[in-house]
């Protein structure tokens, strides 16, 4: 595969951008490779600057649920663009996206738009702290909620990829207010809540984890968090930046039937443009300025181009009643196929999915926590990643990331991917 242009751009980038990238995992260091520089993307495919085509399971790290460059999303952005780029004043587009979300998620009466998932979780925690007048928070090891100081302890995603357990630059005083405990560990959670419950402002959780690889909540885990937080008058924040409108139109909360106090969004609700949001009950949300005194603001928040892209994406997902069934069927075909070819080649894997979110660990034992996820054979993953890339399949360059299927992935894409995996497994087992 020709990579001369990617190599040239990456060499240039490393002199002017730290690590040559604007988000660490993109550098492909964990798999011992170099990034492909992308030129364009269409449907299920992504194309690099050397003209190579890949079947894409990164989907811009989640937003591209319709596939890339969806014509309805592009034309919505184009129509809005004709009227201007940014006004820093309210637009009806903000009402429209807010309504779409409020109408789809029963736990949300009101929602505030921000520009990223990081901003959404950071602001949600400030709101929880201001509302409860408490400082301590609980998160779970291997969950990633963006890069704000208080959420970097034992975080997943890039911090897991680069083995950063205690993030430099975070004052001890900030980190001391964060308890990070094992995912799916009901006993430890109960102990923490038993001891500190009345000091805890909120518990934040990825209801389905996608940043330690793909890990589902075990039965009772989320229900117990909901019950305990209620008992202690602490707020429950569901970080649905990844799972929102992904595992179901109503997010993970609709799948597990849990009503959180605050929900954070990002990714899909921006349709590929930079958007985040946090929403919840009116009596909580009205503590945010200018109604209340809990301050949060943004120059570009509610940007019209981003709103249009999000509206077009959600409307399209909503219009076709079969969207989520189709996504699930395609994803199941993929995961079943991967399981079969792994077994055929004697490679021990753990493949799982929910809706169109999936993951594969190179370890066949049960994976319920970050500690379990870290037992995956990372060398084998790196070899697999490289072999798949060479065969035109674009996966996230880290074991600690979930994969995403879009509505544009065809049966042919899935067959080609499984065939590529079969060949890759044959190569890596040698
Ligand atoms: N929360 C979750 C669950 C995420 O997966 C991410 C990003 O991957 C974030 C928060 C942070 O979002 P952003 O990268 O838009 O700041």
pLDDT tens-digit profile of 188-245? 999 999 999 999 999 999 999 999 999 999 999 999 999 999 999 999 999 999 999 9
CA 420 / ligand 1 centre spacing (Å): 29
Total number of residues shown for the chain? 430
The percent of residues in the chain predicted with pLDDT above 90, rounded, is 94
The answer, yes or no, to whether any atom of ligand 1 lies below 6 A from the CB of 159, is no
What does pLDDT average to over the chain? 97
For ligand 1, atom 5: residue with the closest CA? 242
Q: Residues 228, 189: contact at Cβ < 8 Å?
A: yes
**Which atom of ligand 1 is nearest the CA belonging to 243?**
3
CA 236 / ligand 1 centre spacing (Å): 18
The answer, yes or no, to whether any atom of ligand 1 lies below 6 A from the CB of 277, is no
Short-list 358, 364, 384, 391, CA closest to 376: 364
Q: Kindly report, residue by residue over 327-340, the tens digit of the pLDDT.
A: 999 999 999 999 99
For the residues 46-52, what does the mean pLDDT come to?
98
pLDDT at 165: 77
Q: Residues 370, 142: contact at Cβ < 8 Å?
A: yes
Confidence of residue 167 (pLDDT cuts 50, 70, 90): confident
The percent of residues in the chain predicted with pLDDT above 70, rounded, is 100
**Which atom of ligand 1 is nearest the CA belonging to 146?**
11
CA 415 / ligand 1 centre spacing (Å): 30
CA 82 / ligand 1 centre spacing (Å): 30
CA 294 / ligand 1 centre spacing (Å): 22
Q: Could you tell which of 60, 242, 400 is best to mutate to test the pocket of ligand 1, judged by most ligand atoms within 8 Å of the CB? A: 242
The answer, yes or no, to whether any atom of ligand 1 lies below 6 A from the CB of 146, is yes
Give residues with Cβ within 8 angstroms of 161, minimum separation 6. Answer: 24, 25, 29, 30, 398, 399, 400, 401
CA dihedral for 419, 377, 409, 40, sign (positive or negative):
negative
Which of 190-204 are b and which e, b meaning 16 or more Cβ less than 10 Å from the residue's Cβ? eebbeeebeebbbbb
Q: Could you tell which of 145, 209, 275 is best to mutate to test the pocket of ligand 1, judged by most ligand atoms within 8 Å of the CB? A: 145
Q: Could you tell which of 25, 113, 211 is best to mutate to test the pocket of ligand 1, judged by most ligand atoms within 8 Å of the CB? A: 211
The answer, yes or no, to whether any atom of ligand 1 lies below 6 A from the CB of 211, is yes
162 pLDDT higher than 90:
no
Confidence of residue 409 (pLDDT cuts 50, 70, 90): very high
pLDDT at 161: 81
For ligand 1, atom 13: residue with the closest CA? 117
Give residues with Cβ within 8 angstroms of 26, minimum separation 6. Answer: 35, 397
121 pLDDT higher than 80:
yes
The answer, yes or no, to whether any atom of ligand 1 lies below 6 A from the CB of 243, is no
Q: Could you tell which of 118, 124, 150, 158 is best to mutate to test the pocket of ligand 1, judged by most ligand atoms within 8 Å of the CB? A: 118
pLDDT at 364: 85
Query: How far, in Å, CA of 172 to CA of 321, rounded?
Result: 49
The answer, yes or no, to whether any atom of ligand 1 lies below 6 A from the CB of 240, is no
CA 343 / ligand 1 centre spacing (Å): 33
**Please, what's the largest Cα pairwise distance for the chain?**
64
CA 240 / ligand 1 centre spacing (Å): 9
The answer, yes or no, to whether any atom of ligand 1 lies below 6 A from the CB of 242, is yes
Confidence of residue 42 (pLDDT cuts 50, 70, 90): very high
**Which atom of ligand 1 is nearest the CA belonging to 274?**
15
430 pLDDT higher than 80:
no
CA 422 / ligand 1 centre spacing (Å): 32
Neighbours of 292 (CB within 10 A): 14
The answer, yes or no, to whether any atom of ligand 1 lies below 6 A from the CB of 266, is yes
Active-site positions read 144, 239, 267
pLDDT at 185: 98
The answer, yes or no, to whether any atom of ligand 1 lies below 6 A from the CB of 117, is yes
HEC assignment per residue over 83-127: CCCCCCCCCHHHHHHHHHHHHHCCCCCEEEEECCHHHHHHHHHHH
The answer, yes or no, to whether any atom of ligand 1 lies below 6 A from the CB of 145, is yes
Distances (CA, A) of 315 to 104, 268, 321, 323, 402: 11, 12, 11, 11, 25
Q: Kindly report, residue by residue over 52-99, the tens digit of the pLDDT.
A: 999 999 999 999 999 999 999 999 999 999 999 999 999 999 999 999
């Amino acid at each position: 595969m020709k990579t001369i242009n990617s190599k040239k751009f990456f060499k240039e980038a490393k002199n002017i951008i730290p690590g040559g990238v604007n988000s660490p995992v993109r550098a492909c260091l964990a798999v011992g490779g170099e990034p492909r520089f992308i030129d364009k993307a269409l449907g299920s495919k992504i194309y690099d600057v050397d003209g190579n085509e890949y079947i894409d399971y990164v989907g811009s790290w989640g937003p591209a649920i319709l596939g890339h460059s969806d014509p309805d999303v592009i034309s919505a952005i184009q129509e809005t663009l004709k009227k201007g780029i940014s006004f820093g004043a309210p637009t009806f587009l903000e009402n429209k996206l807010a309504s779409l979300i409020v109408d789809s998620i029963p736990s949300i009466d009101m929602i505030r738009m921000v520009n990223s998932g990081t901003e959404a979780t950071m602001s949600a925690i400030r709101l929880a702290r201001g509302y409860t007048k408490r400082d301590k928070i609980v998160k779970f090891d291997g969950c990633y909620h963006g890069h704000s100081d208080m959420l970097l302890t034992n975080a997943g995603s890039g911090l897991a990829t680069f083995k950063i357990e205690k993030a430099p630059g975070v004052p001890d005083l900030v980190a001391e207010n964060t308890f990070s405990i094992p995912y799916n560990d009901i006993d430890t959670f109960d102990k923490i809540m038993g001891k500190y419950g009345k000091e805890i402002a909120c518990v934040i959780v990825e209801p389905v984890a996608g940043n330690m690889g793909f890990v589902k909540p075990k039965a009772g885990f989320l229900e117990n968090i909901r019950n305990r937080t209620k008992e202690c008058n602490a707020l429950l924040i569901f970080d649905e930046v990844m799972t929102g409108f992904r595992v179901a139109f109503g997010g993970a909360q609709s799948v597990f039937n849990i009503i959180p106090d605050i929900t954070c969004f990002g990714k899909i609700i921006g349709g590929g443009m930079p958007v985040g949001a946090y929403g919840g009950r009116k009596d909580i949300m009205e503590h945010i300025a200018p109604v209340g005194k809990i301050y949060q603001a943004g120059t570009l928040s509610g940007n019209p181009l981003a709103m249009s892209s999000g509206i077009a994406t959600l409307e399209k997902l909503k219009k076709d009643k079969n969207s989520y069934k189709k996504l699930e069927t395609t994803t199941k075909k993929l995961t079943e196929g991967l399981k079969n070819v792994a077994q055929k080649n004697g490679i021990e894997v753990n493949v799982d999915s929910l809706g169109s979110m999936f993951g594969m660990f190179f370890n066949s034992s049960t994976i319920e926590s970050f500690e379990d996820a870290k037992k995956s054979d990372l060398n084998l993953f790196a070899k697999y990643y490289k072999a798949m890339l060479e065969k035109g399949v674009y996966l996230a360059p880290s074991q600690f990331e979930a994969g995403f299927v879009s509505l544009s992935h065809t049966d042919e894409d899935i067959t080609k991917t499984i065939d590529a995996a079969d060949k890759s497994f044959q190569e890596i087992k040698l």
